[in-house]
Amino acid sequence: LVSRKKKPENTIVDIKGEKVGDGNPHLVFGPCAVESYEQVATVADAIKGKGLKLLRGGAFKPRTSPYDFQGLGIEGLKILKRIADEYDLAVISEIVSPADIETAVNYIDVIQIGARNMQNFELLKAAGAVKKPVLLKRGISATIEEFINAAEYIMAQGNGQIILCERGIRTYERATRNTLDISAVPILKQETHLPVLVDVTHSTGRRDLLLPTAKAALAIGADGVMAEVHPDPAVALSDNAQQMDLKQFDEFMKELRSSAFVK
Ligand code: PEP
Ligand code: MN
């Protein structure tokens, strides 16, 4: 169902009027995790001020250590909903349990399925059973074929509003947190009709690489970019080495807009 052979024309995923896959770049920013109303509102204000529409923030955080901050859960989704309404933004948030999907759709505009859950088939089926766009991230060690099959699980349940997200894969290279598989972008665009985003934050794990990798993603044909922004990354409860602060976010957007890739 996701194959370009079955449907030659591009799928456009409409997120509150933001048409991902229409040929224009769509940019998603926001903190790694929802920590408080004030923290997310500060970032939402910056996003709004730049004329952008898409806000991300994790309420359920799949952390490597069980002792690390696990997220605010449903309370976090409620904060996102309040901010989406107040700032007229669309919100994207990761859901980790099939049992939470039905509740989550009342609060968020896009269900994110994270890298660690790309082959959680019950979660994929649950996301496929609702009428909400899904942002599906590539598994940490997933081949492109496995990634495409994961999207197929969602679409097989009747939900065709899927955005694929390349977020880096695990290799022997330690200079970056993961290795951004940039060639996955044109391959996914050729093999499927779905829009493709690149998460430059989790693929590199390095603030200094966000801008060049974002440019590379758009140059190679990605439909958009995701990056993390936090009002004070030094005190962030997760991913504090890679989130941009508001000043870097300003510069990032200025540079991207003065490049050929974003109007
Ligand atoms: C995230 O986007 O919040 C996240 C945890 O990313 P990933 O699933 O790609 O590691
Ligand atoms: Mn993160």
Q: Which tens digits make up the pLDDT trace of 58-79?
A: 999 999 999 999 999 999 999 9
Name the pLDDT band for 261 (thresholds 50, 70, 90). confident
Tell me: pLDDT of 187 over 80: yes
Long-range contacts of 87-90 (CB under 8 A, 24+ apart): 87/41, 87/44, 87/45, 87/47, 87/48, 87/55, 88/48, 88/53, 89/44, 89/47, 89/48, 89/53, 89/54, 89/55, 90/15, 90/16, 90/18, 90/53, 90/54, 90/55
User: Residues with beta carbon < 5 A to ion ligand 2?
Assistant: 32, 239
Would you state the pLDDT for residue 1? Answer: 97
| Domain 13-256 annotated CATH 2.40.440.10 | no
Q: Smallest Cα–Cα separation from 191: which of 136, 158, 139, 152?
A: 152
Q: Does residue 178 carry a pLDDT above 80?
A: yes
* Substitution site in 137, 180, 230 for ligand 1 pocket (most atoms within 8 Å of beta carbon): 137
Q: What is the pLDDT of residue 168?
A: 98
Question: Cβ contacts of residue 131 below 8 Å, gap of 6+?
Answer: 105, 159, 161
Dmax over CA atoms of the chain, in Å, equals 48
pLDDT score at 262: 84
Nearest residue by C-alpha to atom 4 in ligand 1: 114
pLDDT band at 90 (very low <50, low <70, confident <90, very high): very high
Q: Is 37 left (phi over 0), alpha (psi -120 to 50) or beta?
A: alpha
* Residue 98: Cβ-neighbour burial (10 angstroms; 0-12, 13-18, 19+): middle
Q: What is the pLDDT of residues 112-160, one digit of tens each?
A: 999 999 999 999 999 999 999 999 999 999 999 999 999 999 999 999 9
Closest atom of ligand 1 to 33 CA is 3
For this complex, say whether ipTM is above 0.95. Answer: yes
Q: For residue 205, what pLDDT is reported?
A: 97
What is the pLDDT at residue 260? 85
pLDDT at 263 > cutoff 80: no
Average pLDDT, integer, range 215-234: 98
Pocket residues for ligand 1 (CB within 6 Å)?
Answer: 32, 58, 94, 114-116, 137, 167, 199, 202
Q: What does pLDDT average to over the chain?
A: 97
Is the pLDDT at 182 greater than 80, yes or no?
yes
**pLDDT, average across residues 22-41:** 98
